[in-house]
Amino acid sequence: MILTLAGGVGAARFLDGLTRVFPPGEVYVLGNTADDTEIYGLHISPDLDTVMYTLAGLANPVEGWGIHNDTFESLAALGRLGEEVWFRLGDRDLATHIFRSNQLRAGSSLSTITAQMAKQLGVRSSVVPMSDDPIRTIVYTKHGDLAFQTYFVRRRAKDRVLGVTFQGALESRPAPGVLKAIRGAAGIVFCPSNPLISVGPILAVPGIRAAIAGRKCPSVAISPIVGGQAIKGPAARMMKTMGMEVSALGVARIYQELVDVLVIDTVDADLAPAIEKLGMKVVVTNTMMTGLPVKKALARTVVKALQKFRA
């Protein structure tokens, strides 16, 4: 079984490829929930949903998030009732949040509900939240401490990030089965997600980082930074304003001790020697997942790297 650490869109794209070249039933997705938020009293888990929709074949291929061809009648009607509508919830997407919120209030856990929904939608991989306990990314800015979705969606990630914290992480426990899955994995993959705010919170759940650090299987990361730019999202700007080097080398430094092989893009090939000095192997390939062929090729490269490192 391959265990993957996953944020949102970047991870989902990689997982789309991985589950096409590797048995999907043997892929375990450990998902970030620190982006979760409550809107209109509904619990939204953007990263889990992005992964779930993608693996169910429902994802919006352009934006990466949400459901393909979704409509926005409910949202428009909420606007007419005076609600703010900056978080774009489609009608079909809303069903997920209504279902989840109802089950949560009935006492079910996020991991149980996520497994139930994924199964209903025909997803064969395990999609598991990092924790059933509430963990929330707070972004420190000059304009105050912002909830992640306020920073990211509402304010379009325009604020200079002074720091981040994962509220509730210290008191949280990994979701049931997570530590066992890490220990039993034949390979660990860090998806090309924001290392600070997508993978960071997963590693902040007590026990998870230690379990990965103590792994007996190979671990591969795909750099989400290509040519000094984040492929998607605010990762580059966040790394920069937090004093990190915005490059695959910067990513390597964050993942030191946790990753055996870093997959970097061909445009970053010159960084390989510096990354190798950190004690990692480097694989250079095309990581720009512009279409299905590249997704699958990247996934094959990662699977091969896992096998090669083991041998």
Contact (CB, 8 A) for 236 and 187: no
CA dist 241 and 243 (Å) reads: 5
Beta strands 144-147 and 2-6, pairing class: unpaired
Which conformational region is residue 197 in: left (phi greater than 0), alpha (psi within -120 to 50 degrees), or beta?
alpha
**What is the total count of residues that contact a copy of itself (CB under 8 A)?**
33
CA dist 24 and 286 (Å) reads: 23
Token code pair at residue 73: 């009648």
Q: Judged by CB under 8 A, does residue 254 bind a copy of itself?
A: no
Contact (CB, 8 A) for 264 and 272: yes
Q: Judged by CB under 8 A, does residue 304 bind a copy of itself?
A: no
Question: Which H or E run includes 285?
Answer: strand 281-285
Give the shortest CB-119-to-a copy of itself separation in angstroms.
9
Give the shortest CB-102-to-a copy of itself separation in angstroms.
4
Q: Which is nearer to a copy of itself, 106 or 311 (CB)?
A: 106
Q: Judged by CB under 8 A, does residue 96 bind a copy of itself?
A: yes
Give the shortest CB-29-to-a copy of itself separation in angstroms.
19
Segment 113 to 152, residues that bind a copy of itself, using CB under 8 A: 116-117, 120-121
- Smallest Cα–Cα separation from 50: which of 36, 28, 66, 34? 66
Question: Measuring CA to CA, how many Å separate 97 from each of 30, 39, 104?
Answer: 20, 9, 10
Give the shortest CB-56-to-a copy of itself separation in angstroms.
10
Q: Binding string, 150-189, against a copy of itself, x = CB under 8 A?
A: ----------------------------------------
Token code pair at residue 99: 């279902």
Give the shortest CB-137-to-a copy of itself separation in angstroms.
23
DSSP state of 152: I
Candidate ranges 66-74, 226-234, 261-269, 270-278; the one touching a copy of itself (CB under 8 A): 66-74
Q: Judged by CB under 8 A, does residue 102 bind a copy of itself?
A: yes
Give the shortest CB-78-to-a copy of itself separation in angstroms.
4
Which listed residue (1, 24, 26, 98) binds a copy of itself by CB under 8 A? 98
Q: Binding string, 70-89, against a copy of itself, x = CB under 8 A?
A: xx-xxxxxx-xxxx------
Helix (H, G, I), strand (E, B) or coil at 126: strand
Give the shortest CB-32-to-a copy of itself separation in angstroms.
22
CB-neighbour burial class of residue 279 (10 A; exposed 0-12, middle 13-18, buried 19+): exposed
Helix (H, G, I), strand (E, B) or coil at 96: helix
The interaxial angle of helices 110-120 and 46-55, nearest 10 deg, is: 20
Q: Judged by CB under 8 A, does residue 94 bind a copy of itself?
A: yes
Candidate ranges 27-35, 63-71, 133-141, 203-211; the one touching a copy of itself (CB under 8 A): 63-71
Q: Judged by CB under 8 A, does residue 276 bind a copy of itself?
A: no
Q: Binding string, 36-55, against a copy of itself, x = CB under 8 A?
A: ----xxx-------------
Q: Rg (Cα) of the chain, in Å, rounded?
A: 18
Say which residues have a Cβ less than 8 Å from residue 114's Cβ, sequence separation at least 6. 31, 45, 48, 52, 100, 127, 128, 129
Give the shortest CB-93-to-a copy of itself separation in angstroms.
8
Q: Judged by CB under 8 A, does residue 106 bind a copy of itself?
A: yes
- Residue ranges binding a copy of itself (CB under 8 A): 40-42, 67, 70-71, 73-78, 80-83, 90-96, 98-99, 101-102, 105-106, 116-117, 120-121
